[in-house]
């Protein structure tokens, strides 16, 4: 089945509960029903890694790493799994995932549900033993809701993730784990990142560490976070996670649900924060733009704002498996239109715009 044929089933999936639809989509991917896509080659070098293109799948879609190879087959240049916690976590009560179709958005309060480190890492190790992947694999890790020692657990998670991933993302920005966003404060973040450094040393593997931040940060806090990350040897920053804000423009009956908002309404604020981060980092960190990406134009806006790499997730719920290849074709056309031969030539061209 080709991605375009698989996409024809999307209207049917949208008739059922969003979380059930997501589970069915993952099963279809595992069964090979989404097929393969031909995407243009847009190679990028970032964080010491080679990417066949700059478009990645954000964490949250494949929390338990059950469909990594089929997801690469859709055209993604990299895939990030997780968030994975030390112990299995059921997450919040259902319903906890809501489509805001009128707004091209999603609200989730999943609560970082996942099978836990032992189960997911064993799956990743077995997958790695089958042979190389088409691109870098990111492993997104975070603490359990009832964690009593975030520093200890983060160090252990990074140690394990470094053995099975090509880069590790430390998630300190999910709005659905009480207290997690407090770990973004520079002093607390410094302790986590020192534990991450020690975890890498124990693993004996030097892989890039990335920090994922919230779009709701006060911009005055952005500088200290970036300087703390740089001092700790962090390679990159994902800007951004979901938002707790609720724009007045939302029309869906689900707009008042608690949780993190993603999709189209997040594009502008997340890109503004990305642009601000690019000005502060000034090329010292690899920036990964996430939030609201649903087209080649959206991806191009992130790149021009300062992102070397771009991630999506929510738009897949509406556009289906044909989306990655379509975005990459649109992005290639935009780069060619503006006379760029490589993605890197466009990175950060708009970072001095004053809306961030």
Per-residue pLDDT of the chain (356 residues; tens, 9 = 90+): 455 545 545 555 566 889 999 999 999 999 888 778 888 889 999 999 999 999 999 999 999 999 999 999 999 999 999 999 999 999 999 999 999 999 999 999 999 999 999 999 999 999 999 999 999 999 999 999 999 999 999 999 999 999 999 999 998 877 767 766 767 677 888 999 999 999 999 999 999 999 999 898 887 889 999 999 999 999 999 998 889 999 999 999 999 999 999 999 999 999 999 999 999 999 999 999 999 999 999 999 999 999 999 999 999 989 989 999 999 999 999 999 999 999 999 999 999 876 64
| Residue 351 included in any domain | no
Residue 179: which region, alpha, beta or left (left: phi > 0; alpha: psi -120 to 50)? left
Q: Is there a contact between 276 and 305 (Cβ–Cβ < 8 Å)?
A: no
Distance CA 200, CA 64 (A): 22
| Structural domain harbouring 289 | 3-346
| Residue 41 included in any domain | yes
Q: Is there a contact between 289 and 307 (Cβ–Cβ < 8 Å)?
A: yes
Nearest-CA neighbor of 165 among 133, 192, 195, 118?
133
Sheet strands (E) in the chain: 44-46, 49-51, 55-57, 78-84, 97-100, 105-108, 137-141, 167-171, 209-213, 236-239, 260-263, 286-290, 309-312
Q: Is the pTM of this model over 0.85?
A: yes
Q: In this structure, what CATH number is given to the domain that contains residue 195?
A: 3.20.20.70
Tokens found for residue 227: 């300087």
| Residue 353 included in any domain | no
| Residue 352 included in any domain | no
Q: Which of 173, 174, 235, 262 is catalytic?
A: 174
Q: Is 174 a catalytic residue?
A: yes
| Residue 356 included in any domain | no
The C-alpha angle 97, 100, 103, rounded to 5 degrees, equals 145
Q: Give the Å distances, CA to CA, from 239 to 196, 210, 250, 273.
A: 20, 11, 22, 7
How many domains are there within the chain? 1
| Residue 326 included in any domain | yes
| Residue 7 included in any domain | yes
Q: For strand 49-51 and strand 55-57, is the pairing parallel, antiparallel, or unpaired?
A: unpaired
């Amino acid at each position: 089945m080709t991605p375009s044929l698989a996409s024809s089933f999307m209207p049917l999936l949208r008739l059922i509960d969003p979380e059930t639809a997501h589970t069915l989509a993952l099963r279809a991917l595992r069964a090979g029903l989404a097929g393969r896509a031909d995407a243009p080659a847009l190679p990028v070098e970032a964080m010491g890694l080679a990417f066949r293109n700059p478009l990645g799948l954000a964490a949250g879609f494949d929390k338990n790493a059950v469909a990594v190879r089929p997801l690469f087959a859709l055209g993604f240049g990299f895939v990030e799994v997780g968030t994975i916690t030390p112990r299995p976590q059921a997450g919040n009560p259902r319903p906890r995932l809501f489509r805001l179709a009128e707004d091209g958005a999603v609200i989730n309060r999943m609560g970082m549900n996942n099978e836990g480190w032992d189960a997911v890492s064993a799956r990743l190790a077995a997958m790695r033993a089958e042979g190389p992947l088409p691109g870098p694999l990111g492993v997104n890790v975070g603490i359990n809701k009832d964690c009593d020692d975030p520093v200890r657990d983060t160090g252990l998670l990074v140690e394990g993730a470094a053995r099975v991933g090509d880069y590790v993302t430390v998630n300190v920005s999910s709005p659905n784990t009480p207290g997690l966003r407090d770990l973004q404060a520079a002093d607390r973040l410094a302790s986590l990142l020192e534990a991450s450094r020690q975890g890498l040393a124990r693993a004996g593997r030097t892989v890039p560490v990335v920090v994922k931040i919230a779009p709701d940060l006060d911009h005055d806090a952005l500088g200290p976070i970036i300087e703390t990350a740089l001092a700790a040897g962090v390679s990159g920053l994902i800007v951004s996670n979901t938002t707790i804000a609720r724009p007045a423009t939302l029309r869906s009956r689900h707009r008042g649900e608690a949780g993190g908002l993603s999709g189209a309404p997040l594009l502008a604020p997340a890109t503004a924060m990305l642009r601000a981060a690019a000005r502060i980092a000034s090329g010292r960190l690899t920036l990964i733009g996430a939030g609201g990406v649903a087209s080649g134009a959206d991806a191009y806006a992130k790149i021009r704002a300062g992102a070397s790499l771009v991630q999506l997730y929510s738009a897949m719920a509406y556009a289906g498996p044909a989306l990655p290849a379509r975005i990459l074709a649109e992005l290639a056309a935009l780069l060619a239109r503006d006379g760029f031969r490589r993605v890197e030539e466009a990175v950060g061209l708009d970072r001095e715009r004053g809306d961030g």
